[in-house]
Chain A
């Protein structure tokens, strides 16, 4: 089954404790992206990657790191999490070069709470 898999689905952590949220897709998509979704603010793009070893900042990259060493994986790293990073996180991927009828495929989200 074609899918984007995020882990973990739920995570509670404390301020300053480094964490990684994994994202993997099995569709051979070049493009991958991370979003956070907050009440009243909607979906905001954190980082995106057009292909392996190519990453760029979205709207809200501060406090996050990403890497794209393999095509299928795009982990999101919080080196020193803070309470304002408490949010619902989505990873997404799509084929490039196929126009906008190639949709973004989203994972089911990771709910992160930083205390």
Chain B
């Protein structure tokens, strides 16, 4: 079993829809959770990060972590065609200042059509 599981999609939604992206994990030591966005032919870029359980909101994006269920989510409200990209979850058991091993999900390919 992979450390991090993520449905690769593809996911196709109309503009304005609410998008829900999810990952599950098996390592209970993970405590730092990140979402990266990757546009075609580009490297991933950090979208959001959270520590331990709870919610974090940034504009149209909300990240949720449920450590008891080993489940994390990213919600995108009022989705836009510019949100079309691959979204990767990532997580680590290390403290931020000693980041070493980082485990990524396979990525979910999202298309938002006008």
Contact = CB atoms under 8 A, between A and B. Distances in A.
B51 A41 contact: no
A81 to B, nearest CB: 22
Interface string B4-44: 00101000000000000000000000001010100001111
A67 interface: no
B100 A48 contact: yes
Contacts, number: 68
Taking residues whose C-beta sits less than 8 angstroms from the other chain, chain A's interface range is 20 to 34
Given A96-B99, A100-B96, A43 B45 contact: no
A24 to B, nearest CB: 14
A50 B96 CA distance: 12
B106 A104 contact: no
Nearest to A90: B43
B105 A42 contact: yes
Given A42-B6, A45-B101, A98-B96, A109 B32 contact: no
Interface of B: 6, 8, 32, 34, 36, 41-46, 49, 51, 88, 90, 96-107
8 contacts: A42-B6, A43-B90, A58-B101, A98-B96, A99-B97, A100-B99, A103-B46, A108-B42
